[in-house]
Amino acid sequence: MPTGPSILQVAIATPLRRCFDYHLGALLSSAAVMPGVRVKVSFGRSSTVGVVLERVDESRCQAGKLKAISAPLDELPLIPSSLLALLQWASDYYAHPIGEVIFSALPSLLRQGEPAERREVEHWCLTCLGASQEPDQLTRAPRQAALLRLLMDHPEGLSASTINERQDNWRPSMRKLAEKEWVVREQRPALLLPAPGGTRDEAPTLNVEQQTALASLCTGLGHFGVSLLDGVTGSGKTEVYLGLIGEVLARGEQALVLVPEIGLTPQLLDRFRRRFPEPIAVLHSGLSGRERLDAWLMARDGDAAIVIGTRSAVFTPLARPGVIILDEEHDASFKQQDGFRYSARDVAVKRAQLENIPVLLGSATPSLETLHNARLGRYSHLRLCERAGNARHPEVAVLDVRKQPMNSGLSLALVNAMRRHLDADGQVLLFLNRRGYAPTLLCHDCGWVAKCRRCDAHMTLFAGRKRLRCHHCGSERPADPACPECRGSELCPVGAGTERLEEALQGLFPGTGMVRIDRDTTRRKGAMQALLDSVHDGSARILVGTQMLAKGHHFPEVTLVGMVDVDQGLFSADFRATERMAQLITQVAGRAGRAQRPGQVLIQTHHPDHPLLQLLLREGYAAFAHAALEERRQANLPPFSHLALLRAEAVDGELPLRFLRQARELAEALHPYGVQLLGPIPAPMERRAGRVRAQLLLQANRRVDLHRLLDPWLQQLETDKLGRKVRWSVDVDPQEMF
Ligand code: ADP
Ligand code: ZN
Ligand code: ZN
């Protein structure tokens, strides 16, 4: 006898904006095939994995045409109903096909139909004998010594994949250590990180501001509410998170902590595991498929008390959710920029609402959207205005570099200040958001510049002056020895990137320890950690880096921060550019003087009188944000209006605009009340990676109006003939306007 409806609505990972009907077939009596269960189904000519969304009595398809599912893959729903509801909401909100949304939220092994089972993974730990060794004595076996040191730093043991991240080709050396019985191999559940016994940190006594914030957050436990923890860098936000998590764990609930991509540092994890004895699951992009699945399952089954991860971890199921904390909520990495373009911050808020738990957004430089919500009273606004401990606020000044002689981007005033700080035993951090040697290569004889063949962009000179690379499409070629136009040999690098800055500094400060931290120097396994170590042990005195340096790091000995060039951010086509620049300046400045020493921040600019820059420096980020929000209100830009961007690209340069013009006509035919259509126009960088790009902007004062149009409109575009010849996508609440 059938128990319950026999038609299954199944989500399948395809770009089609719909789900697919199957019937239960021979499994008609199966009560277990419920929403959230994976099923094997035939789809087109092959067989694939789907997720049951609903069981219904009737199908929209003709009964005879319905296929039966091949087999259920789970006995119990894999995806809890609250998470399924969140995914369905996200699919509607971001106007993205439900199948792709669900499948992008699942670990890859589950997408492939693997059983949802945990497996133990290989770990290595020191034996007592090993712990009593002196690694420095292994002078002839540096790799063994390095492994020994690594394990000594992690007395609780390390998983093979973590060791992989730190050291290449480590197995032969580990085998040697095992032969000496200094280390042993164990099978353990993945990713539980119980801190080593005895080294637990005591929480510091919170200051009054921290106590007030924590007390307010604790009264919010057990029901939905959004709080903004708006605290200057170093004000002790993380301590407030830790205090709140302690309360959540005491209630027997789980905490989900989301951090920006570069925020997931070993230091941060260490801080968590030294505070809590409970198991922690960590989800980041470096995990193997198996590890990710295990972490996911431990979160879902409630075995991980704390789940820490980057953007996509917002979709991790939790057995007993208690709180969601999003650190650095303004960070751009919370927004996915391709495929399913969601904002983890906004999804987190929705999720908290569905699960009826509080969500905490923390930042020293909150986004204008979040500040706006706080002002309207939708979010409670908690402030930490003082730096924790004894650290003082840095002193910030502008260096007007107009008409100043410059050396690879450095003014004399900045160089002199560096000298003073270095002489006083301080560390100096120089920030330049441009990697490579120079942003472009110019022929002094005829004016030729090195351009990318596939993009409307200059090539960046890097690797000394040897190679050219395009940051937009990744293509590379050797730097031209002579000008391809006039055969002239006077090719000059124009402007400076981090490489050139480092070179200039080596000339100016010979013999001074220096590290450069950017994507080029940190690509290799363990490289970032090694660079950071040399900063912390004091051997590096000057740090040069891109915005990788701006986040989360704690450099107590840095007393001078120099921002080499902030002018790019002051004048940009993107309306969010000034907001980002202000956030960056504030965050980078926050790296100075975090410990006992007072810090100084110097900002080089050709526009010392820029009003928003002036306001930021005189009165701080809050005053800046106030003025910037006023500008947005007057221009009717977000958060005072809502945007969606339809992008199209194709190799054939005609097609994108033609498709978008037609899309506009279709939209107009739907009489979209309250929605303004702007464009289509060519994208600000029209050609990228060999494709021509264009965009159509939708703007509405009320979100409902925008969504009322999107649904029927995208259904039409999906079946549009021209639409098949271009690559198109829709971006709701776009963060980048290109
Ligand atoms: P944020 O997250 O706001 O940048 P952190 O929580 O990392 O700030 O705190 C900055 C530093 O101050 C850390 O070294 C932290 O241990 C210390 N700290 C935080 N709160 C206190 C406190 N109440 N008493 C003493 N030190 C504190
Ligand atoms: Zn030339
Ligand atoms: Zn390119």
Looking at the structure, do residues 259 and 292 belong to the same domain, yes or no? yes
Please report the pLDDT score of residue 1 as a whole number. Answer: 42
Please report the pLDDT score of residue 552 as a whole number. Answer: 61
Looking at the structure, do residues 412 and 552 belong to the same domain, yes or no? yes
Q: What is the mean pLDDT of residues 356-362?
A: 98
Looking at the structure, do residues 260 and 307 belong to the same domain, yes or no? yes
Say if residues 355 and 82 touch (Cβ distance below 8 Å): yes
Tell me which ligand sits closest to the C-alpha of residue 234: 1
Looking at the structure, do residues 370 and 314 belong to the same domain, yes or no? yes
Regarding the beta carbon of 207 and ligand 1, being less than 6 Å apart is answered yes
Question: Could you identify the residue written with the tokens 């959004």?
Answer: 226
For 609-663, write each residue's pLDDT tens digit. Answer: 888 888 998 888 999 999 999 999 999 999 999 999 999 999 988 999 999 999 9
Mean pLDDT rounded to a whole number for the chain: 88
Alpha carbons within 13 A on the beta-carbon side of 632: 24
Candidates 124, 145, 123, 323; CA nearest to 227 is 323
User: Total structural domains in the chain?
Assistant: 6
Give Cα separations from 541 to 435, 503, 597 (angstroms). Answer: 20, 15, 15
- Which residue puts its alpha carbon closest to atom 10 of ligand 1? 234
Please report the pLDDT score of residue 309 as a whole number. Answer: 93
Strands 20-23 and 7-12: antiparallel
Atom of ligand 1 nearest to the CA of 590: 4
Take residue 659 and report the two structure tokens written for it: 């498709």
Please report the pLDDT score of residue 189 as a whole number. Answer: 64
Please report the pLDDT score of residue 521 as a whole number. Answer: 87
- Which residue puts its alpha carbon closest to atom 25 of ligand 1? 389
Regarding the beta carbon of 235 and ligand 1, being less than 6 Å apart is answered yes
Residues with CB under 5 A from ligand 3 (ion): 452, 454-455, 470, 472-473
The best mutation among 201, 209, 238 to test binding of ligand 1, ranked by most ligand atoms within 8 Å of the C-beta, falls on 238
More confident residue, 219 or 75: 219
Domain membership of residue 512 (yes or no) is yes
d(CA 21, CA 318): 29
Q: How far is the CA of 484 from the centre of ligand 3 (A)?
A: 18
Looking at the structure, do residues 551 and 668 belong to the same domain, yes or no? no
For 659-706, write each residue's pLDDT tens digit. Answer: 999 999 999 999 888 999 998 999 988 999 999 999 999 999 999 999
Q: What is the DSSP string of 8-52?
A: EEEEESSSSSS-EEEE-GGGTT-S---TT-EEEEEETTEEEEEEE
For 532-550, write each residue's pLDDT tens digit. Answer: 888 888 899 999 998 887 7
Looking at the structure, do residues 426 and 556 belong to the same domain, yes or no? yes
Regarding the beta carbon of 233 and ligand 1, being less than 6 Å apart is answered yes
Tell me which ligand sits closest to the C-alpha of residue 482: 2
Please report the pLDDT score of residue 687 as a whole number. Answer: 92
Looking at the structure, do residues 207 and 221 belong to the same domain, yes or no? yes
What SS3 state is found at 694?
strand
For the four alpha carbons of 288, 290, 295 and 299, in that order, the dihedral sign comes to positive
Q: How far is the CA of 260 from the centre of ligand 3 (A)?
A: 27
d(CA 633, CA 627): 10
Please report the pLDDT score of residue 165 as a whole number. Answer: 76
**Domain stop point among 111, 143, 161:** 111
Q: What is the mean pLDDT of residues 216-220?
A: 96
**In the sheet that 727-732 helps form, which strands lie side by side, from edge to edge?**
675-688, 691-700, 642-650, 727-732
**Amino acid of residue 448:** W
Atom of ligand 1 nearest to the CA of 240: 6
- Which residue puts its alpha carbon closest to atom 11 of ligand 1? 234
Q: How far is the CA of 488 from the centre of ligand 2 (A)?
A: 5
The band of 3, judged by pLDDT with boundaries at 50, 70 and 90, is low
**Domain stop point among 92, 111, 130:** 111
* Number of neighbours of residue 213 by Cβ within 10 angstroms: 28
Take residue 576 and report the two structure tokens written for it: 């969010």
Alpha carbons within 13 A on the beta-carbon side of 48: 17
Looking at the structure, do residues 574 and 461 belong to the same domain, yes or no? no
Looking at the structure, do residues 678 and 597 belong to the same domain, yes or no? no
Take residue 335 and report the two structure tokens written for it: 């927004």
Take residue 535 and report the two structure tokens written for it: 């900063």
Looking at the structure, do residues 209 and 294 belong to the same domain, yes or no? yes
Domain that holds residue 600: 395-434+499-630
Please report the pLDDT score of residue 29 as a whole number. Answer: 60
| pLDDT at 481 > cutoff 90 | no
- Which residue puts its alpha carbon closest to atom 5 of ligand 1? 236
Domain membership of residue 195 (yes or no) is no
CATH number for the domain spanning 328: value is 3.40.50.300
Ranges 360-364, 464-468, 565-569, most confident:
360-364
Please report the pLDDT score of residue 199 as a whole number. Answer: 63
More confident residue, 154 or 533: 533
Atom of ligand 1 nearest to the CA of 206: 23
**Domain stop point among 610, 630, 650:** 630
Looking at the structure, do residues 358 and 223 belong to the same domain, yes or no? yes
More confident residue, 712 or 549: 712
- Which residue puts its alpha carbon closest to atom 9 of ligand 1? 236
Looking at the structure, do residues 416 and 523 belong to the same domain, yes or no? yes
For 271-301, write each residue's pLDDT tens digit. Answer: 888 899 888 998 887 777 888 898 899 999 9
What SS3 state is found at 634?
helix
Atom of ligand 1 nearest to the CA of 384: 3
Tell me which ligand sits closest to the C-alpha of residue 364: 1
More confident residue, 364 or 267: 364
Q: What is the mean pLDDT of residues 461-489?
A: 89
CA dihedral 133, 136, 138, 143 (to 10 degrees): 100
CATH number for the domain spanning 708: value is 3.30.70.600
Helix (H) or strand (E) holding 100: helix 98-104
The band of 389, judged by pLDDT with boundaries at 50, 70 and 90, is low
Region of residue 122 (phi > 0: left; psi between -120 and 50: alpha; otherwise: beta): beta
The band of 37, judged by pLDDT with boundaries at 50, 70 and 90, is very high
| pLDDT at 596 > cutoff 70 | no
Please report the pLDDT score of residue 573 as a whole number. Answer: 73
- Which residue puts its alpha carbon closest to atom 8 of ligand 1? 236
More confident residue, 55 or 65: 55
Burial class (CB in 10 A: 0-12, 13-18, 19+), 659: buried
Burial class (CB in 10 A: 0-12, 13-18, 19+), 563: buried
